[in-house]
Chain A
C-alpha cells in the first residue's frame, strides 16, 4: 500500500504561504533568529474574538493546515495529528509571567487555556468542526516524525482516510535568550544566505509550520519511508542506518536524485553531514533548508514540504542547492536531518 502527499501547506520565514513561484527568491535575514512571515490569517480565521486569543504558533499551524487542505481539495480530514516540541511557548510564557507577577493569586484564563501543547491541533479541529481522531506528539527532535509515524500506521490500518498531519514550533524572546545561553546560536553577526559557509559554532534560530494531507489515493508525491535513529554511537552507525533504510526499500545510495540534509551552519554538526555525503553520496546533488527556516525541533516538516515541492515541480531552486547539480528528473529525494546530534531522521519521498 502506498501513501501519498495529497496536499501541503507551509508558513515559514520564507514566502511559502503566498501564491508564487516555489522559493524563487530567498528572503535574507541578518542576525541569529528567523521569524515567520505572517500571512493574513483573517482569510482562515474570520472570527475576531477567536483570532485575538490565538498565539502566533496557533495561527501559523492553522494557516499551514488550511493551505494543505485547500491544496488537497478537501474540507474535512479523517484525523488531525500534530508534532510540536515547544507547543504554545509564547502563551506559556505569558501565563507563567503573569502568575509570578500576581504572586500566584490571579491566573489569566486565556494564556492558560492556550498554553497546552495540543492547542494547535485542537484549534484546527474547532475551526473545521472536526470530531475525528486528534493527537499531538511532543518528542523534542522527533515530534514531527512521531506524528508522521502515527499517520502512516493509521493509514496502514485503514487506507480509506485522509489525514492532516504537520509539525509546528515557534521561537519567543524568552526561549531565544535561554537557548542562546546554551550556545545553540551564533554569537557573531550572521546572514542566513551565508550561514552554511560560516564555519563557526552555533546556528540560527527558526520557527514555522508545515502541514500535509496524507492518503492512499494517488497524489503527485509518494511518502515511501520514514525512520528515526536516537543517539547513534558513531558516524558509522548513521551510515549503516541510512544504507539499511534504503535497502529496506530496495534502493541504494546511487538511486537518490537529491539528498536534503539538515546542515545548519554549526561547524561541528556540519562536519558530520560532509563526511556522510562524501562517503555515501559522492555523486549525489545535495540541498539544504535550515538557512531558509532556521533550526528548530520540527524543522524536518519544512524539509518534507520542500522535498515534496521539488518533486512535484521537478525543479530544485538555486537557493536550496548546496552541492552538485540537480538532475533533470527528480524522482527520489532522501531527507536526512539531525537535531542537536541526538535525534536523526530519514524521510524518503518519490515521484508518484
Chain B
C-alpha cells in the first residue's frame, strides 16, 4: 500500500503530503484527503497506467476509491482474475 500511496501522491501532485501521512482507511474524498471529481478521473487513469485495470462499471467508483485499502483490495482482486 506504500507504493500505491506514493503513486497517488505523484499522480495528484499532492504537495507536502508524504505516503505515511495517508491512513490506510482514511477517506480519500471530501473530509478525508479532500480529493474531488477531477482527482477521481486521475485515479481511474492511475489504475489504467500502473496496473492495466479499466473500471468497467463507473458505479463501482465510490466503493473502489473510498480509501487506499479499498483501492488496494480492488487492484489485488483484479490481478488475481484470469486473463
Contacts and interface: CB of A to CB of B under 8 A. Distances in A.
Contact of B49 (A52, A102, A109, A113): A102
Given A102-B48, A109-B41, A110-B42, A49 B34 contact: yes
Given A52-B14, A53-B13, A107 B45 contact: yes
Interface residues on A, range: 10 to 19
A300 B49 CA distance: 42
Given A109-B38, A110-B38, A52 B45 contact: no
B38 A53 contact: yes
- B-side binding surface: helix, strand, loop or mixed? helix
Nearest to B11: A108
B57 interface: no
A51 B45 contact: no
Interface string A37-52: 0000000000011011
Contact of A105 (B13, B14, B34, B48): B48
Interface size class of B (residues with CB under 8 A): 10 to 19
B13 A98 contact: no
Contacts, number: 35
Contact of A49 (B36, B41, B44, B45): B36
B12 interface: yes
B42 A106 contact: no
A101 interface: yes
B15 interface: yes
Nearest to A51: B15
14 contacts: A52-B12, A52-B13, A52-B14, A53-B38, A98-B49, A102-B48, A102-B49, A106-B48, A108-B11, A108-B42, A109-B38, A109-B45, A110-B13, A110-B42
Closest 4 A-B residue pairs measured CB to CB? A106-B48, A109-B41, A106-B45, A52-B13
Given A98-B45, A108-B11, A109-B45, 5 more contacts: A49-B34, A49-B36, A52-B13, A106-B44, A108-B42
